[in-house]
Amino acid sequence: MINVIKEQKGNSLTVKMAGSIEESVNFEQIIGPSPGAGNELQVNTKEVPRINSVGVKAWIKYFQMVSGSGAKLKFIECSTAIVEQINLILNFTCGGEVESIYVPFTCTACKGELVGLFKTVDLKKMELQLPELKCTKCGGKATFDDIPEEYFAFLSR
Ligand SMILES: [Zn+2]
């Protein structure tokens, strides 16, 4: 099951999804019709740990409809599962902008895993040289834990 929290601010609608995106997802039902031309739809997937192939099909169908209606699409706080799909599937963002993503880090001391939130504009400036983060469990040094050329592939499209 997936939960959605909606927040309308001016002409911008933010939808915060929580849960896995799979067979049972019905975006028309949980998000509603496209906000339409001149409006913005911000999609927050911070709490989406998984998306399967059926979920991907439903995702693309829905967000292409939103994009086609003239609404501005923005993806914010994309989870690592969503970033994988953005890299894998060329039209996953349906013409929308990816504003910020979660990046996986591993602590060099306790091997604990954590994620850091980065804006894509800042990542482009860093040229794949990510800063170290402080481990939330032991305070040790946490470093980026993936292949930069793969995890950030979509940035250079
Ligand atoms: Zn640690």
Tens digit of pLDDT for each residue in 13-56? 999 999 999 998 999 999 999 999 999 999 999 999 999 999 99
Q: How far is the CA of 137 from the centre of ligand 1 (A)?
A: 5
pTM of the model as a whole: 0.95
Q: Does residue 83 or residue 1 have the better pLDDT?
A: 83
Query: Which domains, ranges and CATH numbers included, belong to the chain?
Result: 3-98 (3.30.750.24)
* Tens of pLDDT, residues 84-140: 999 999 999 999 999 999 999 999 999 999 999 999 999 999 988 999 999 999 999
* Ligand 1 center to 114 CA (angstroms): 9
102 CA to centre of ligand 1 in angstroms: 18
Ligand 1 mean position, distance from CA 78 (Å): 24
Output the CA 104–ligand 1 centroid distance in Å. Answer: 14
Band the pLDDT of 157: cuts 50, 70, 90.
confident
The CA 34 to ligand 1 mean position distance, Å, reads: 43
Extended strands (E) in 12-157: 12-18, 40-47, 72-76, 97-98, 100-107, 113-119, 133-134, 141-144
The model's confidence at residue 1, banded by pLDDT at 50, 70 and 90, is: confident
